[in-house]
Structure 1
Amino acid sequence: MMSRGGDQRLRSARPTTIHGCAHSGDLLGLQRLLKDNPSLLNERNPVMSHTPLHVSAGNGKVDIVKYLLEWTGSEKVEMEAKNSYGETPLHMAAKNGCNEAAKLLLDHGAFIEAKASNGMTPLHLAVWYSISSKDISTVKTLLENSADCSAKDNEGLTPLDHLPRGPGSDKLRELLRWHLQEQRRKRAVEACSETKAKMDLLEKELSKIVGLSELKAQLRKWAKGMLLDERRRALGLIIGARRSPHMAFLGNPGTGKTMVARVLGKLLHMVGILPTDKVTEVQRTDLVGEFVGHTGPKTRRKIQEAEGGILFVDEAYRLIPMQKADDKDYGLEALEEIMSVMDTGKVVVIFAGYSEPMRRVIGSNEGFCRRVTKFFTFDDFSSKELAEILHIKMKNQTESNPLYGFALHESCTMDEILSMIERETTEKQRKEMNGGLVDTLLVNARENLDLRLSFECVDTDEICTITLEDIEAGLRALSQ
Structure 2
Amino acid sequence: MPPGLDHRAGAARPMTVHGYVQQGDLAGLQKKLVENPSLLNLKNEIMVQTPLHLAAGHNNTAIAMLLLSWNGSEKVEMEAKNMYGETPLHMAAKNGSTQVAELLIQHGAMIEARANNGMTPLHLAVWHALQDDNPSTVIALLNHNADCAAIDEDGLTPLQLVAKGPKGAKVEKLEKVLRWHVDEQRRQKALAACQETAGKMAEFELAMASIIGMDEIKGQLRRWAKGMFMDERRRALGLTIAPRRAPHMAFLGSPGTGKTMVARLLGKLLHMVGFLPTDKVTEVQRTDLVGEFVGHTGPKTRRKLEDAAGGVLFVDEAYRLVPNQKSDDKDYGLEALEEIMAVMDAGKIVVIFAGYEEPMKRVIASNEGFCRRVTKFFHFKDFSTDELAQILRLKVAEGSGALCGFKLHPACTMEAVAALIKSETTEAQRKEMNGGLVEPMLVNARECLDQRLGFDCVDPDELLTITMEDLRAGLRLISRQ
TM (norm. structure 2) is 0.94
Superposition deviation, residue 165 in structure 1: 5.5
Q: How does 1:360-375 map to 2 (within 5 A)?
A: 360-375=362-377
- The equivalent residue for 1:3 is none
2:244 is the counterpart of 1:242: yes
1:215 is matched by which residue type in structure 2?
I
Question: Residues 306-355 of structure 1, C-alpha deviation per residue, up to 9 Å, x if partnerless?
Answer: 01110000011111111223433111111111011111110000000000
Distance 2:399 2:165 in 1: 64
Change (3 A) 1:458 1:162: farther
- The equivalent residue for 1:74 is 73
Q: How does 1:50-449 map to 2 (within 5 A)?
A: 50-163=49-162, 164=164, 167-168=167-168, 169-398=171-400, 401-449=401-449
SS in 1 for 2:402: coil
Distance 2:215 2:229 in 1: 21
Superposition deviation, residue 402 in structure 1: 2.2
CA contact (8 A) 2:248 2:374 kept: yes
- The equivalent residue for 2:5 is 12
CA contact (8 A) 2:4 2:15 kept: no
Change (3 A) 1:448 1:67: same
Superposition deviation, residue 24 in structure 1: 2.0
Distance 2:217 2:154 in 1: 43
1:343 is matched by which residue type in structure 2?
D
**Which consecutive residues of structure 1, in runs of 5 or more, have no partner in the other structure?**
1-7
Superposition deviation, residue 195 in structure 1: 1.0
Distance 1:58 1:212 in 2: 66
SS in 1 for 2:353: strand
Change (3 A) 1:426 1:136: same
Distance 1:85 1:234 in 2: 32
SS in 2 for 1:167: coil
Distance 2:34 2:456 in 1: 78
- The equivalent residue for 1:475 is 475
2:157 is matched by which residue type in structure 1?
T
2:432 is matched by which residue type in structure 1?
E
Superposition deviation, residue 294 in structure 1: 0.9
1:373 is matched by which residue type in structure 2?
T
1:71 is matched by which residue type in structure 2?
W
CA contact (8 A) 2:130 2:166 kept: no
Distance 2:75 2:457 in 1: 64
Question: Residues 56-89 of structure 1, C-alpha deviation per residue, up to 9 Å, x if partnerless?
Answer: 1112111101111122223322212222322211
Distance 1:205 1:178 in 2: 41
Distance 1:198 1:32 in 2: 57
| 100-109 or 449-458: bigger deviation | 449-458
SS in 2 for 1:242: coil
1:286 is matched by which residue type in structure 2?
D
Distance 2:46 2:4 in 1: 26
Question: Residues 137-187 of structure 1, C-alpha deviation per residue, up to 9 Å, x if partnerless?
Answer: 111000010001011223332112222165333222221111010001011
Distance 2:399 2:153 in 1: 50
Distance 2:479 2:207 in 1: 32
Distance 1:445 1:351 in 2: 34
| 443-452 or 101-110: bigger deviation | 443-452
Superposition deviation, residue 305 in structure 1: 0.5
Change (3 A) 1:58 1:465: farther
Name the Cα RMSD after superposition.
1.6
SS in 1 for 2:357: coil
Distance 1:286 1:116 in 2: 50
Question: Residues 244-303 of structure 1, C-alpha deviation per residue, up to 9 Å, x if partnerless?
Answer: 111000000110100110011111111111111110000111111111111111111101
- The equivalent residue for 1:5 is none
CA contact (8 A) 2:4 2:28 kept: no
Change (3 A) 1:68 1:11: closer
Distance 1:199 1:326 in 2: 52
Superposition deviation, residue 458 in structure 1: 4.5
Distance 2:460 2:130 in 1: 76
Distance 1:157 1:43 in 2: 33
| 430-439 or 36-45: bigger deviation | 36-45
Question: Residues 191-232 of structure 1, C-alpha deviation per residue, up to 9 Å, x if partnerless?
Answer: 111111101111111111111112111111111111111111
Superposition deviation, residue 116 in structure 1: 1.8
Change (3 A) 1:357 1:174: same
Distance 2:399 2:282 in 1: 22
CA contact (8 A) 2:98 2:136 kept: yes
SS in 2 for 1:402: helix
Superposition deviation, residue 464 in structure 1: 2.9
Distance 2:422 2:292 in 1: 45
Change (3 A) 1:435 1:108: same
SS in 2 for 1:91: helix
SS in 2 for 1:269: helix
Distance 2:460 2:152 in 1: 64
CA contact (8 A) 1:87 1:115 kept: yes
Change (3 A) 1:27 1:358: same
Change (3 A) 1:370 1:29: same
Superposition deviation, residue 20 in structure 1: 1.3
Q: What percentage of aligned pairs have identical amino acids?
A: 65
Distance 1:341 1:452 in 2: 56
CA contact (8 A) 1:123 1:159 kept: yes
Distance 2:469 2:161 in 1: 77
CA contact (8 A) 1:19 1:52 kept: yes
